[in-house]
Amino acid sequence: MAMHLTGLKTGSRVVVTGAMGWVGSRTLGRLATEHEVKGLDLEPGAAGGCVVDEIDLIEYEAVREALEGAEGVVHLAIASRRALTHLDEHDYAAVEIQSNVLGTRNVFEAAAEAGVKRMVYFSSLTIQLGEPQRRWIGPGAPLRPSNPYAVTKLYGEQLAWLYANQGRLSTVAWRLGQPYPVEHFSLEHMRDPEERACGITAGDIARGMLAGLSADLSVFEAPEREAGPAEELPCGGRPGFTPGFAVANLVSASDTGDGHGYDLSVARRLGYEPAECFTAEGPVPVQSLRKAIR
């Protein structure tokens, strides 16, 4: 089965994992304005007017059945520390590995077997935030996971590259910033330029989802660069391209300029344009600002 490089058309069938989480519950409705959407989660219910079916991603056959007929998959599901506060450190680590590693593997394999045309995988900026100097995360930023969760997200990126390199599944991997607002990332944090530079609103996350599903990866070519040690890594520490695979930062705009922040040049090539900008007073519409941002 040939891998699809062109993006999905409006009205495609899209399955979203982790649909009842913070991101999923706030974006499914927007996604459903352009596609036929079904959610999957450990907790069944409804979000954004979409049905969310119960599933445990550890059970491969259940995942394979749930993805039958899907044209696109948005993989959000993770082990949530906030939902598992009753577990001690070691028990939580076991659940995190099961969900973020084995569960992610099952989603990729099931998607490839089901003939899914496009995967949108939500990685995390934390895969680079272990770097001591991180005032500006550009295309050449090294991979420095800041915690075990970040290591599991990097695994997902490498898995996405592997499936694309094998010609089995095309993926756009977004290195997601800090969703806003949540209890540990609120208005008081906006006074710190480094903090607000990594923020992203639910609206901009939804724009990233839609861009990832519709991006035409056939138009990209590998960037020219000198061979070196970084070439040994599939991602090379850089948001770059291999046929059927793209990885890029996903944040809202900010008023911090190049002093603090995350390069969005690759994201824009994928069709993402932030509509909201973080300031010291919180997010505002981009068009309301007169000065150029990022």
Q: For 53-67, 69-83, 128-142, which range has the lowest pLDDT when averaged over its residues? A: 128-142
Per-residue pLDDT tens over the stretch 16-29: 999 999 999 999 99
- Whether the model clears a pTM of 0.75, i.e. scores above it, the answer is yes
What structural domains and CATH numbers belong to the chain?
13-288 (3.40.50.720)
User: For the chain, what percent of residues have pLDDT higher than 70?
Assistant: 84
Give the model's confidence band at 203: pLDDT under 50 very low, under 70 low, under 90 confident, else very high: very high
Which two structure tokens, joined as six digits, stand for 164? 């694309």
Q: Which residues of 68-102 are buried (b: 16+ CB within 10 A; e: fewer)?
A: eebbbbbbbbbbbeeeeeeeeeeebeeebbebbbe
Q: How far apart are CA 215 and CA 275, in angstroms?
A: 18
